């Protein structure tokens, strides 16, 4: 089996946690801070953090357009929390001037569950998983609208969409990388190998 070479966008956020999970799953992992580093990988993880800061830094480091081009070219990308916001075509409640990489036909509301104090964990059924996941929501976004081509992988009891997939793009509102959950990273790596 070919070892997938994947990157974790390492501008801000919970980079180490993703590196640890991906490495444990047998991937070769590079930190991506420059366009040349992005060009060397076959898939990319957009970590949780502060979406507006990651957006600004990506533009400063000349990464915004290369990431958009990679997404348009079919590169598998997995975004958690802020990464979901960065993959969304539309953002509700973004700060002035905030942009995303886009590619996923969803509208996402930032901090939909409130402040850090309103963070929570819950058991969550996920399409295709035999056993529910323990999902940690930390200042999490929520998908408030999803296009017809978007697969809804997980929803909360009130119908809020918290995990989605569209073509080679996968995104979760929550942080599997902090709760010991590896199945979303496995889905991402399967997509990388399949490409």
* Phi, psi at 9, each rounded to 5°: -60, 115
Which residues are catalytically annotated? 81, 175, 177
Query: Which of 17, 126, 3 minimizes the C-alpha distance to 80?
Result: 17
Q: Give the tens place of pLDDT for each residue, 47-96.
A: 999 999 999 999 999 999 999 999 999 999 999 999 999 999 999 988 88
pLDDT for position 26? 96
pLDDT for position 114? 66
pLDDT for position 115? 64
- Give the residue numbers spanning the domain of 81: 5-194
Beta strands at 133-137 and 88-92: parallel, antiparallel or unpaired? unpaired
Give residue 189's Cα distance to chain centre.
13
How many domains does one find in the chain? 1
CATH code, domain carrying 139: 3.40.50.880
**Regions of the chain where pLDDT drops below 70:** 1, 114-118
Contacts of 136 (CB under 8 A, 6+ apart): 119, 120, 121, 174, 175, 178, 179
N- to C-terminal Cα separation, the chain: 13
- Regarding pTM above 0.75, the answer is yes
């Amino acid at each position: 089996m070919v070892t997938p070479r994947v990157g974790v966008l390492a501008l801000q956020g919970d980079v180490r946690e993703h590196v640890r999970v991906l490495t444990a799953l047998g991937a070769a992992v590079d930190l991506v801070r420059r366009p040349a580093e992005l060009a060397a990988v076959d898939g990319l993880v957009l970590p949780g953090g502060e979406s507006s800061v990651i957006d600004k830094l990506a533009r400063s480091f000349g990464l915004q357009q290369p990431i958009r081009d990679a997404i348009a070219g079919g590169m598998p990308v997995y975004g958690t929390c802020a990464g979901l916001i960065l993959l969304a075509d539309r953002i509700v409640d973004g700060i002035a001037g905030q942009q995303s990489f886009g590619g996923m036909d969803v509208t996402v509301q930032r901090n939909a569950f409130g402040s850090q104090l309103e963070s929570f964990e819950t058991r969550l059924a996920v399409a295709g998983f035999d056993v529910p996941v323990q999902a940690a929501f930390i200042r999490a976004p929520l998908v408030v609208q999803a296009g017809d081509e978007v697969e809804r992988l997980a929803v909360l009891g009130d119908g809020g969409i918290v995990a989605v997939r569209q073509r080679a793009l996968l995104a979760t509102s929550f942080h599997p990388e902090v709760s010991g959950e590896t199945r979303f990273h496995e889905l991402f790596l399967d997509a990388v190998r399949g490409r």
